[in-house]
A and B are shown apart, each in its own frame.
Chain A
Amino acid sequence: MKSVRRRLVGTTLGFGALAAAAVLLAPLVGSTRISLRAAFDWSRPFADNPDAQIFFIARLPRTLAGASVGALLAAAGAVFQGLLRNPLATPFTLGVSAGAALGAMLAITFHWSFQALGLSAVPAAAFAGSLLAVAIVYALAQARHRGLSTTVLLLAGVTLNAFLSALILFVQYFANFADTYRTLRWLMGDLDISSYEPLLAALPLGLASMAVFAWLARPLNLLAVGPDSAESRGLNVTAAQRAAFLSASLATGAAVSIGGPIGFVGIIIPHLVRLIVGPDHRLVLPAAALFGAAFLVGCDVLARTLIAPIELPVGVITALVGGPFFLWLLIRRR
């Protein structure tokens, strides 16, 4: 058996190359052909350079958003699956996305127009909503035991998901047709952003979560064998579970505030990655982040080009790819 260090290098280089290729090629593809040489021709003023405008304003932020959201959702999915010891968990299982959705619905329906942390109202409200959902689920799972009960976590998350969905319908009832269209589009998951601000706003949180994920890799392996045996091997199980829940929830909140609840990335990517590199979280987490980035950027290219010039929400593509895959996984498991 090859050493973990060598497998880690191989995994990072392999999936890193895939992610880099996706990020470099995606801005070149689209309904309008652009020339890279023209886009990077600094002698022309930006205002007179349509190639540069398309590259830097329309496509690059969108590509980077796809890469960030894909990486965060895929890695967070792997962390949730490890935390809940359930391979079918997703980043949205514990109510984070429903909280974000309610926030976004409120902002759209009631035309909020504040700015916070460099974010416009909809992503800011979405992020606040996700924080609220995280706080509620955490408080519920915390109250029953001195530790963190993953059973209560799961029940509280699923219940909160259902309750928030009801609230979302309630808010929708007050929306006019145009707003309803916007909310529906948001709920499908969409990377249609044309500035770097949302990315910069999400960056610190995203990086912090990733740093915690790196520490969590070995604790998640121990938890997969069983919380009791993990405890007897010297792991502070409660601390590890709290760290996993909070970091993965915040990563999901950051991702959803950028792109909406883009489905299936958080479940199919960790599963595909496990088929390739095995179950060791020290390999699964970096591989999932890089492959998730490549996958979502790829799906977004499809979304932009499939029926161009109409742009589909990327969540439609991931669902069309992910749904059948998910069913195949279920059948394969037994």
Chain B
Amino acid sequence: MLSAHDVWFGYDARSPVLRGVSVDIASRALVGILGPNGSGKTTLLRLLAGTRSPQRGVVTLDGAPVAAQSRAALARRIAVVPQETQLAFDYSVAEVAMMGRYPHLGAFEIEGPLDAAAVHAALAATGTGHLADRQFTMLSGGEKQRVVIAAALAQISDSVEDTGTRVLLLDEPTASLDLTYQLEVLSVLQRLNAEHGLSIVISTHDLNLAASLCRTLLLIRDGRVVAAGASEAVLTQDSIRALYGVDAEIVDRPSGGRAILPVRRTGS
């Protein structure tokens, strides 16, 4: 379980971005963090990943405070996928995926067969094995995102002793993708959650994406939790009004799940 307890954080002291957020991410959970732009989603992901420390409150992984663990130990359990990845140089897909193995290697250590096997398996799991020798920059947006997810998977996969929670944190992973590529990435995430036992946390401002993918939702606005819990319980007209200030129709789809149609700004 990855947990944040009443965390406060501000990039400068006077204006906190997060004002007392708590969230529990169980093992094998699929959690969506929903909120408008600037609500603190990305910052919350940084605190959960341990790359920033809360000024108040604590983040724990399987009960141990994240701040007390080494960067490498943490990185072997928690990986982050950004919205977009722009390389400064032309690395191949295999090289990009191999960078996930960084926290498994010593300062001057060169990757060995175990690392190659982890990368191979990660590329296969994201359906990008056939791209291994291609240039990353030449791929489509969806392929790029799947390769970056493969690198994250290689980062947190450890065949040896580890049975603790392993978490994939994704920051708006589909925001800059076409519809086809969005679905492509989402199906990969569902598979990783179901078959590889990863906890997946995805930040998004896309209500329908969150409704169709996530079992649990955390709605935040201005750094505070508006609502949290099971998706069906949380996605109500009231909570959407509180979150975005819009009136919405909520439609139960025959195939299961819900669709949210924003109708008008509240009060107009």
Where the two chains meet, the residues of A that have a C-beta atom closer than 8 Å to any C-beta of B are: 1, 3-5, 8, 81-82, 85-87, 214-215, 218, 221-226, 228-229, 231-236, 274, 278-280, 282
Beyond A232-B51, A278-B92, A279-B91, whether A226 also contacts B86 by CB under 8 A is: yes
Beyond A5-B110, A221-B99, A228-B82, whether A234 also contacts B75 by CB under 8 A is: yes
Where the two chains meet, the residues of B that have a C-beta atom closer than 8 Å to any C-beta of A are: 49, 51, 70-72, 74-76, 78-80, 82, 85-92, 94-96, 99-100, 102-103, 105, 107-108, 110-111, 116, 132-133, 148, 155, 169
> Which residues of chain A are within 8 angstroms of B155 by Cβ–Cβ distance?
233
Q: Are B72 and A234 in contact, CB atoms less than 8 angstroms apart?
A: yes
Q: Which of B49, B71, B88, B148 has the most CB of A within 10 A?
A: B88
Contacting residue for A4 out of B70, B71, B111, B133, CB 8 A: B111
Question: A144 to B49, alpha carbons, bound, how many Å?
Answer: 24
Q: Are A234 and B103 in contact, CB atoms less than 8 angstroms apart?
A: yes
Question: A88 to B105, alpha carbons, bound, how many Å?
Answer: 30
> A206 to chain B: closest CB distance in Å?
20
Q: Are B80 and A228 in contact, CB atoms less than 8 angstroms apart?
A: yes
Q: Are B89 and A232 in contact, CB atoms less than 8 angstroms apart?
A: no
Q: Are B103 and A214 in contact, CB atoms less than 8 angstroms apart?
A: no
Beyond A1-B94, A215-B107, whether A233 also contacts B49 by CB under 8 A is: no
> A304 to chain B: closest CB distance in Å?
35
Question: How many pairs, one residue from A and one from B, have CB atoms within 8 Å of each other in the complex?
Answer: 87
Q: Are B80 and A232 in contact, CB atoms less than 8 angstroms apart?
A: yes
**Closest 5 A/B residue pairs (Cβ):** A234-B75, A279-B89, A232-B80, A234-B103, A85-B88
> B154 to chain A: closest CB distance in Å?
10
Q: Are B133 and A234 in contact, CB atoms less than 8 angstroms apart?
A: no
Beyond A1-B94, A215-B108, whether A229 also contacts B82 by CB under 8 A is: yes
Q: Are B99 and A231 in contact, CB atoms less than 8 angstroms apart?
A: no
Q: Which of A222, A224, A233 has the most CB of B within 10 A?
A: A233
Q: Are A229 and B108 in contact, CB atoms less than 8 angstroms apart?
A: no
Q: Are A279 and B51 in contact, CB atoms less than 8 angstroms apart?
A: no
> B134 to chain A: closest CB distance in Å?
12
Q: Are A224 and B71 in contact, CB atoms less than 8 angstroms apart?
A: no
> B168 to chain A: closest CB distance in Å?
11
> Which residues of chain A are within 8 angstroms of B108 by Cβ–Cβ distance?
214-215
13 CB contacts below 8 A, A to B, read A1-B94, A86-B88, A222-B99, A223-B88, A225-B85, A228-B80, A232-B78, A232-B80, A235-B71, A279-B89, A279-B90, A279-B95, A282-B110
Question: A8 to B111, alpha carbons, bound, how many Å?
Answer: 12
Q: Are B75 and A280 in contact, CB atoms less than 8 angstroms apart?
A: no
Question: A76 to B102, alpha carbons, bound, how many Å?
Answer: 23
Q: Which residue of B lies closest to A1 (CB)?
A: B94
Contacting residue for B100 out of A4, A8, A233, A280, CB 8 A: A233
Contacting residue for A233 out of B75, B91, B169, CB 8 A: B75
> Which residues of chain A are within 8 angstroms of B116 by Cβ–Cβ distance?
3
Beyond A82-B88, A226-B85, whether A233 also contacts B103 by CB under 8 A is: yes
Beyond A234-B72, A235-B102, whether A4 also contacts B110 by CB under 8 A is: yes
> Which residues of chain A are within 8 angstroms of B89 by Cβ–Cβ distance?
82, 87, 224, 274, 279
Q: Are A225 and B80 in contact, CB atoms less than 8 angstroms apart?
A: no
> B267 to chain A: closest CB distance in Å?
38
Q: Which residue of B lies closest to A231 (CB)?
A: B51
Q: Are B88 and A224 in contact, CB atoms less than 8 angstroms apart?
A: yes
Question: A97 to B185, alpha carbons, bound, how many Å?
Answer: 48
